[in-house]
Amino acid sequence: MKNALLAALLFVNAAASAAVLEDAAGPAAQLSRQAAAPRPGAVLAQVQTAPRGNPRRRGIATIKGAANLSGFEITINKATGEVSGAANRSGISLKIDYEARTIKGGANQSAVDLKFDEDAGTLTGGANRSPVDLTYDPATHVVKGALGLAPLELTYDPSTGRITGGANHAPVGLTYDERTGSLKGGANLSPMDLTIDNLTIDEVLTKYVFLIFCRYP
Report residue 2 CA to chain centroid gap.
Answer: 85
Residue 58: per-residue pLDDT: 72
Q: How many CB atoms lie within 10 A of CB 39?
A: 10
Q: Is the pLDDT of residue 105 over 90?
A: yes
Residue 216: per-residue pLDDT: 55
Mean of per-residue pLDDT scores for the chain: 81
Residue 11: per-residue pLDDT: 43
| Rounded Cα–Cα distance for residues 25 and 82 (Å) | 62
| Rounded Cα–Cα distance for residues 192 and 42 (Å) | 49
Q: Is the pLDDT of residue 169 over 80?
A: yes
| Rounded Cα–Cα distance for residues 101 and 118 (Å) | 8
What is the value of pTM for the model shown? 0.71
Residue 17: per-residue pLDDT: 46
Phi-psi label, residue 105: left if phi above 0, alpha if psi -120 to 50, beta otherwise: left
The pLDDT-based confidence of 42 (bands split at 50, 70, 90) is: very low
171 touches 162 (CB < 8 A): no
Domain boundaries, the chain: 2-49, 55-212
- Tens of pLDDT along 112-143? 999 999 999 999 999 999 999 999 999 999 99
Residue 57: per-residue pLDDT: 54
- Residues of the chain with pLDDT > 70, as a percent, come to 73
Phi-psi label, residue 16: left if phi above 0, alpha if psi -120 to 50, beta otherwise: alpha
Q: Is the pLDDT of residue 24 over 60?
A: no
| Rounded Cα–Cα distance for residues 140 and 129 (Å) | 29
| Rounded Cα–Cα distance for residues 76 and 96 (Å) | 9
Compute, in degrees rounded to 10, the torsion defined by CA atoms 197, 134, 101, 70.
Answer: 40
Terminal-to-terminal C-alpha distance of the chain: 116
Q: Is the pLDDT of residue 180 over 80?
A: yes
